[in-house]
Structure 1
Amino acid sequence: MRLYPAIDVKDGQCVRLKKGLFNEVTVYSERPYEIAKGFEEAGAQFIHTVDLDGALKGHGVNAETIKKICSSVNVPVQMGGGIRTLENIQEVLDLGVYRVIIGTKAVENPDFIKAAIDRFGAEHIVVGVDAKDGLVAIEGWEKVSDKTALSLALAMKDIGVQTIVYTDISKDGMLAGPNVEQTKILSDKTGIDIIASGGMSCMDDLTHINDAGIHGAIIGKAIYEKRIDLKEAVNLFESGASYSKASSMPKADISFKDLKLDANGLIPVVVQDYVNDEVLMLAYMNEEAYNKTLETGIMTYYSRSRQELWVKGLTSGHFQYVGSLDIDCDNDTILAKVRQVGAACHTGNRTCFYRNIKTWNR
């Protein structure tokens, strides 16, 4: 089971609401990025964030805070709140967010979700299904639609959605336990990844979610109120799984002198997205680039065209944060798995490999 520690942002602060009520606010930190760093240090492999002001106003409000959270950690961040247009999605991804959560728009215009998946890929689009008494709530939970949670979830599956965050609003921020029964129904009926949200209060709640075969759980207030120890929960429910998949692999103590280089003294680097293994690009490293990457955790290459060191994203802002570096059996190719901010390709495409030559259907 995947755990998603939560940071809800209001007025640039880390807060929690009760039942989604904006007049029931508890402030836990004025520096949400420090909370994010603490989550990563505790072993979290994904962080959940919500722009509460954005959810209410229908547009992003806390962009700088979200950007700082993303740049402070090397694990992926998903974010919801105020996302209404394709341009909004691009803006949020450019902040360093890996997955965008869309709620209101999914109810009002399902075709928008289809367009978002077609443009950005299903791995970057999550639908938020927030329910009051079984009916989906929208616009920062201020209004209730006539759609049931299950009907919306099934409709989203039909258009290609792979992940849904399901929140029982009556449970949110109440430390009263999650709605396991309804969440399991969504999980069983749709067969896609359902992330349970609302009411997590103790380790037993997480056990119930895990035993129900549900993909993941968002934990918020229980962490802040010290009812759940995140490090202990990660160790118990994620079995030490690492986002870089490196923890189960043998470590190699390799310096640049151990590598087999090409005629120009360079080694090729195949770059993949560490969440879905999408191949993003191919680049090259010299010794300086290799050592700088190891030192900073930011992918650095040698540009053959400019004949100079190249910190990926230094001018575009599309940095690549290292998840893992692996070497092949012949020591002549590096495989880098990264958290890609924005586009990997200079053309503005997510990957450099966006043109198909031919596909064989066998």
Structure 2
Amino acid sequence: MLIPALDLINGEVVRLQQGDFERQTTFASDPLPLAQAYAAAGAEWLHVVDLDGARDPAKRQIATLQRLAEALPMALQVGGGIRQQTDLDELFQCGVQRAVIGSLAVQNPQLVSSWFDDYGSDAIVLSLDVSIAEDGQAFVATHGWQQTSELTLQQVIERFLPAGLRHVLCTDISRDGMLGGYNTELYQQLKTQYPELVIQASGGAAKLEDLRQLRAINCDSAILGKALLTGQFTLEEALACWQNA
């Protein structure tokens, strides 16, 4: 499926270029009308990145998230600064269906593994953002892309498969927000190695052909952020393309 995405700072819809808070563009003062338009177009899920929560969990935009959850027919998956179980509980209590876990999967894999037991495989998405080395190896980045770990994408995935890992959102950092197309080789490799996983591709969509290429390699889902906000194509066009590819 196609999953539209909204990044939020102080309740406003923004985009950061390659995760840099100094390169921020504001697209809307209120996320609800945009999200309602996505729902009307046929989206079943909305991906929300709480950038305030990512910087400081105490500033998580719970009121905004709850407003979206109550007003929308879509299911929500939300990420940004989830560091302890109370963060998860707070999100689920305000109506979020899936929590997106990033850096913590590398920093505290034992804790994150326990959450698969507590909440189930469908309630947790591992967001694994990668930097591609010269030899083609994908290394997982942490701390809002400020640090690159010594763990490969495959090593992190293998760590969580026994715990029940099902959903993986993978972003090639070099592609994010650049409108240069997806790293289809990366997703093809993941689908070949781990056919049991539900892979969400993120970073780079610029034209409908990018979606056709993803569909051709049997990628399960694509996150659409900047391409929709900047009018590269509409969600209606994207959904028609995805269904017909």
Question: What is the TM-score with the length of structure 1 in the denominator?
Answer: 0.64
Which structure 2 residue ranges, 5 or more long, are not aligned?
133-137
Give the CA deviation at 1:9. Answer: 0.6
2:135 corresponds to:
none
What is the Cα deviation at residue 139 of structure 1? 1.8
2:212 is aligned with 1:213: no
Kindly name which structure, 1 or 2, has the bigger radius of gyration based on alpha carbons: 1
Gaps (5+ residues) in structure 1?
Answer: 240-362
**Match of 2:16?**
17
Deviation of the 1:124 alpha carbon: 0.6
1:29-67 C-alpha deviation (Å, 9 max, x unpaired)? 010111111110111111111011222335552221122
1:238 & 1:121 partners in 2: Cα distance?
29
CA deviation digits over 1:193-239, x for unaligned, max 9? 11000011110010111101111000011001111210122233247
Q: CA deviation at 1:145?
A: 1.1
The structure 2 residue matched to 1:232, chosen from 222, 234, 237, is 237
Aligned residue identity for 1:222: A
C-alpha distance in 2 between matches for 1:233 and 1:127:
25
Contact 2:129 2:171 in 1 (8 A): yes
Residue 201 in structure 1 maps to residue 200 in structure 2: no
Identity %: 33
Q: Secondary structure at the match of 2:174?
A: coil
Runs of 4+ in structure 1 over 6 Å off: none
- The answer to whether the Cα contact below 8 Å between 1:55 and 1:139 also exists between their aligned partners in 2 is no
- Partner secondary structure for residue 175 of structure 2: coil
**Correspondence for 2:171 among 163, 167, 176:** 167
Deviation at 1:156, TM superposition (A): 2.1
Q: Indicate conservation of the 8 Å contact 2:208/2:241, yes or no.
A: no
Aligned to 2:34: 35
Alignment partner, residue 187 of structure 1 = 191
> Aligned Cα RMSD in Å?
1.4
Distance in 1, Cα, partners of 2:215 & 2:191: 12
Q: Does 1:135 align with 2:135?
A: no
- Determine if the alignment matches structure 1 residue 158 to structure 2 residue 162: yes
- With normalisation by structure 2, the TM-score equals 0.93
Measured at CA, do residues 60 and 167 of structure 1 come closer, stay the same or move farther in structure 2, by a change above 3 Å? farther
Task: Tell me which amino acid in the other structure corresponds to 2:3.
Answer: Y
Query: What SS does the aligned partner of 1:164 have?
Result: strand
Aligned equivalents of 1:95 and 1:143: distance in 2? 31
List aligned pairs for 1:100-111, cutoff 5 A: 100-111=99-110
Query: Shift of residue 157 of structure 1?
Result: 2.0
Q: Distance in 2 between matches of 1:126 and 1:59?
A: 21
Contact residue 211 and residue 241 of structure 2 kept, 8 A: no
Change (3 A) 1:59 1:80: farther
Comparing both chains, which one has the higher relative contact order based on Cα–Cα distances under 8 Å and sequence gaps of 6 or more? 2
Mapped partners of 2:43, 2:106: distance in 1:
31
